[in-house]
Amino acid sequence: ETGVTQTPRHLVMGMTNKKSLKCEQHLGHNAMYWYKQSAKKPLELMFVYSLEERVENNSVPSRFSPECPNSSHLFLHLHTLQPEDSALYLCASSQERTGVNYGYTFGSGTRLTVV
Amino acid sequence: AQKVTQAQTEISVVEKEDVTLDCVYETRDTTYYLFWYKQPPSGELVFLIRRNSFDEQNEISGRYSWNFQKSTSSFNFTITASQVVDSAVYFCALSDMFSGGYNKLIFGAGTRLAVHP
């Protein structure tokens, strides 16, 4: 496989469930990101991992818990979500290099519906 | 503050029309990068172009062209002879090179383009 792969593509979960979103990148990048995209809203940066350390957490509720076990994998653990958390969750990766920005490579996203 | 403004929320055109998507940015950096991404209905953001702030040459790639003007802080995107497959949301993005210790991208709100047959 190449690029950034996200699983599952679609997820329906109840408010009391616990589930995890998975992201895997095969590009040799050293930074990974979680974004949330709700209907009619801008892209919201949730978490950033650079060299497997979390470097940014944009006031995300604790019911979202990220995990980055190595530079190729990123997880988003979900528990006791609310219906307003229904959205497209996008993972991205990039190659960090001082003074240069190559942009991000995105996965296809996980469309989450909380019922 | 770093900011990207895409004033056009939605654009609707008929196939074969030319269409321009506007992008205006604000930055305190002297070196920065600008990007355009396409998000088709499938959801994935697809990279279209990256432009360094020192390179003001316009770029053409098939039916796509980009006009970078530092004097007006704009990086506009034109699709010539639009096709139905161009229907998507298009995002302009700006690099934030020096905050947070990583390569941050600041995204605009996106422009939804609908091309009708």
Inter-chain contact B91–A43, Cβ cutoff 8 Å?
yes
Q: Which residues between 36 and 75 in chain B have a beta carbon less than 8 angstroms from any beta carbon of chain A? A: 37, 42-47, 50
pLDDT reported for residue B31: 86
Residue A42 to chain B, least CA–CA distance (Å): 5
The pLDDT assigned to B102 comes to 73
> Is the link from the previous residue into A8 a cis peptide, with omega within 30 of 0?
yes
State how far the Cα of B63 lies from the Cα of A31, in Å rounded to an integer.
Answer: 32
B95 chain-A contacts, CB cut-off 8 A: 101
Could you tell me the pLDDT band of residue A2, with boundaries at 50, 70 and 90? Answer: low
Contact A31 B93 (CB under 8 A): no
Chain B interface includes A13 (CB < 8 A)? no
Average pLDDT of span A37-43: 87
CB contact (8 A) between residue A55 and residue B102 = yes
Per-residue burial over B77-105, b if 16 or more Cβ lie within 10 Å, else e, is bbbeebeeebbbbbbbbbbbbeeeebbbb
* Beta partners for residue A44, in sequence order: A36
The pLDDT value recorded for residue B100 is 59
Is the minimum CB–CB distance between A55 and chain B shorter than 8 Å? yes
Predicted pLDDT of residue A97: 77
Q: What is the DSSP string of B3-52?
A: EEE---SEEEEETT--EEE--EEE-S-SS-EEEEEEE-TT---EEEEEEE
Does residue B69 contact residue B80 with C-beta atoms inside 8 Å?
A: no
Contacts 24+ apart (CB under 8 A), B52-57: B53/B29
SS3 A28: coil
Q: Provide the mean pLDDT of chain A.
A: 91
Neighbouring C-beta atoms of residue B57, cutoff 10 Å: 7
pLDDT of A40 reads 76
Distance CA A28, CA B8 (A): 36
Residue indicated by tokens 């009391």: A16
Contacts of B22 (CB under 8 A, 6+ apart): B6, B7, B8, B74, B76, B111
CA distance to partner chain A, nearest, from residue B97 (Å): 7
Q: Give the DSSP per-residue string, B63-92.
A: TEEEEEEGGGTEEEEEESS--GGG-EEEEE
Residues of A in contact with B50 (CB under 8 A): 101-103
Comparison of pLDDT for A13 and A53, the residue scoring more: A13
Pairing of strands B10-14, B111-116: parallel
The Cα A43–Cα A36 span in angstroms is: 6
Please list, in sequence order, all residues whose beta carbon lies within 8 angstroms of the beta carbon of residue A76, skipping any fewer than 6 positions away. Answer: A20, A21, A23, A34, A46, A47, A64, A65, A66, A67, A89
Average pLDDT of adjacent 10-residue blocks, chain B of 117 residues: 93 98 94 94 92 88 95 96 97 80 85 97
